[in-house]
Amino acid sequence: MKDGFIKVAAVTPKIRVADPAYNKRAIIEKIEEAEEQRAVVVVFPELCITGYTCGDLFLMEPLLQQAQDALFEIAEETNGKNMLVFVGLPIRWKGRLYNAAAAIGNGTILGLVPKMCIPNYNEFYEGRYFTPGMKEAEEVTLAGNVRVPMGSRLLFSADRMPELKIGVEICEDMWTPAPPSISHALAGANIIVNLSASDEITGKDRYRKSLVEGQSARLICGYVYASAGEGESTQDVVYSSHNMIGENGIMLAEAERFINQSVYGEIDIQRLEGQRRRMSTFLGTKEKYMEIPFHLKKEKTQLTRFVDPTPFVPGKMEERNKRCEEILLIQSMGLKKRLEHTGCGHAVVGISGGLDSTLALLVTVRAFDLLGLDRKGIHAVTMPGFGTTDRTYDNAVNLIRCLGTDFREVDIKEAVRVHFRDISHEESVHDVTYENGQARERTQILMDIANQENGMVIGTGDMSELALGWATYNGDHMSMYGVNASVPKTLVRHLVQYYADKCEEEALEKILLDVLDTPVSPELLPPEDGKISQKTEDIVGPYELHDFFLYHMLRSGFGPDKIFRLAEYAFGQKECAQEENSMEHKYSKAVILKWLKVFTRRFFSQQFKRSCLPDGPKVGTVAVSPRGDLRMPSDASGALWLAEIETLH
């Protein structure tokens, strides 16, 4: 439960139809298995105490009585166990029969949630036996004197983690136009459990999966779906135990069908609550719910879920290529609109031979092609300075010529020397003035060429640099339209790689691949033996770490403690689930902590650069534009975050 992680399980025991005594033992065995796995929320299928396929046997008193007896015995087995268990059974009340989910924990039956939508079509015939459940909770009596609340509007809340609230729906409820889970979520439920008995026909598994993913996304919740499987009657249909665990549109775990496979996963309650707080359209409900507390010990949940070390970059090649094409199109369409609106037939781009300026030029070329404009209207300017190497210079020149844009070269060294003399700065002093003087000279050149050509300067800086403030104020920080402003550095590399793979021009591909192979550098310090001496990641740290920090800080709202834990896990996890303390890490704890401090200090101290950013298109879920996703005072204190970092080891 530490850091908001809740381990859940969707479990399908092998049962016997109409044999509650046998099923009770099978359920208890699975509860013990779930306890060994340290699951704290355990969900069983619909009517699993009796079996879903009992037919008219549901009308028989012996079956109903033994099912109730089995429920009490199962509840007793949860005594002393750190879990909340949901099991399905038929419940008699006031002359009616209800298909219900019983919530049990620490030896007690906490509540009963009836099925609201009773299917009576095609292969389903539940209306013959069951009555649709009541919304408002009412007290029912079991075993003569045990009073238990029953109703759809019950929420189960952990006493030591009050932000955890669990709502329940049963099978068909999810398939209807207005599932009860909508109301549950608006009332505060962030985990929905579904006890189901969904039979298997061709193609149904894909639709079922889409429902779980879609419902968890719409409701910004965790969704635990446990379905009937082997052991149910196959007289007319077959059940596959298609167990699933979803979280906000992502499938965390999915069972292999037809083998009664239990699935486990950790749902991140903190992340879900953070997402809900951001959404002004996620409104509450006026419907009254009864909250039922249950006890859980607060302990650290061992992670087995996949934590993506590169959250901005899709892992699968097909998805990554689709993402790259989409981003290039968004960037190009954004620039196309700006060029149309201003009536500009000219664009000015500073080309260094590095990744960012390469991507900016490729985007500008695509925008001009979309407009049907001559590429000669793109004025690509290379501006060699004190740190420029032959490799980057040659790549810049060759790229410009290969793309057929207008080529210009302006050597900045003499102009910068004049400037140094004017302000009495020694050229031999390689400090921030030495570096920024070159960056601002380049920006002045670009702006003035844009004035000459009645064009606009296209910004090249990416989101990772902006997050760190790794830009010269009023230097490369400034442009007239920043096409890369919301593209993280880890994704810039893949965009250029994608362009190289699909361009079908051998010469261009060769240039782009060499750009990709060149160390990231502003090249503001003199080379050493003709090679780049100033490597950005040696100074500010690995961009893959900074992008990871940025994503989880802005997208999820996490603090340093949780980000540190996730980073340590993400850069050490294996393909298969492993305990956190047994992993070999790409980065040591000390290295992650070092760069997390750097990131946090720079993120807060450099906000003033982001507060006056040029326009630029948003391409993903995280952005730092002051007009969009990040409205933050330039003088906000980072003391709270830095103090938390100091407590980490």
Closest CA to 391 of 542, 540, 525, 516: 516
Q: Of 35, 46, 126, 465, which residue is the catalytic one?
A: 46
- Residue 31, token pair as written in the block: 């509860």
Q: How far apart are CA 357 and CA 361, in angstroms?
A: 6
**Angle between helical axes of 506-516 and 390-403 (0-180°, round to 10):** 150
HEC string of 360-400 equals HHHHHHHHHHHHCCCHHHEEEEECCCCCCCHHHHHHHHHHH
Q: How far apart are CA 276 and CA 289, in angstroms?
A: 19
Answer whether 600's CB lies under 8 Å from 594's CB. no
Closest CA to 217 of 279, 261, 164: 279
Residue 46 falls in the annotated catalytic set: yes
Q: How far apart are CA 332 and CA 186, in angstroms?
A: 39
- Residue 144, token pair as written in the block: 């003569």
Closest CA to 609 of 444, 457, 436, 492: 436
3-state helix, strand, coil in the chain (%, to 5): 40, 20, 40
Q: Which amino acid is at 360?
A: A
Q: How far apart are CA 83 and CA 90, in angstroms?
A: 23
DSSP string, 456-493: EEEE---HHHHHHT-S-TTTTT--SEETTTT--HHHHH
Query: Which CA distances in Å does 551 have to 383, 429, 544, 571, 642?
Result: 33, 37, 11, 15, 18
Q: Of 48, 54, 117, 171, which residue is the catalytic one?
A: 171
Q: How far apart are CA 352 and CA 453, in angstroms?
A: 21
Q: How far apart are CA 115 and CA 129, in angstroms?
A: 12
Q: How far apart are CA 564 and CA 329, in angstroms?
A: 34
Q: How far apart are CA 311 and CA 305, in angstroms?
A: 14
Helix (H, G, I), strand (E, B) or coil at 574: coil
93 phi and psi angles, rounded to 5 deg? -160, 125
598 phi and psi angles, rounded to 5 deg? -60, -45
Residue 36 falls in the annotated catalytic set: no
- Residue 172, token pair as written in the block: 């068909």
Outline where 518-588 has alpha helix (H). 536-540, 543-554, 560-570
Q: Of 7, 30, 81, 115, which residue is the catalytic one?
A: 115
Closest CA to 174 of 40, 33, 46, 329: 46
254 phi and psi angles, rounded to 5 deg? -145, 130
b/e map 435-468, b = 16+ CB within 10 Å: bbbbbbbbbebbbebbeebebbbbbbbbbbbbbb
Q: How far apart are CA 77 and CA 159, in angstroms?
A: 21
- Residue 356, token pair as written in the block: 């960012």
Query: Could you say which DSSP state residue 153 is in?
Result: -
Judged on CB neighbours under 10 Å (0-12, 13-18, 19+), 14 is: middle
Task: Please identify every residue annotated as catalytic.
Answer: 46, 115, 171
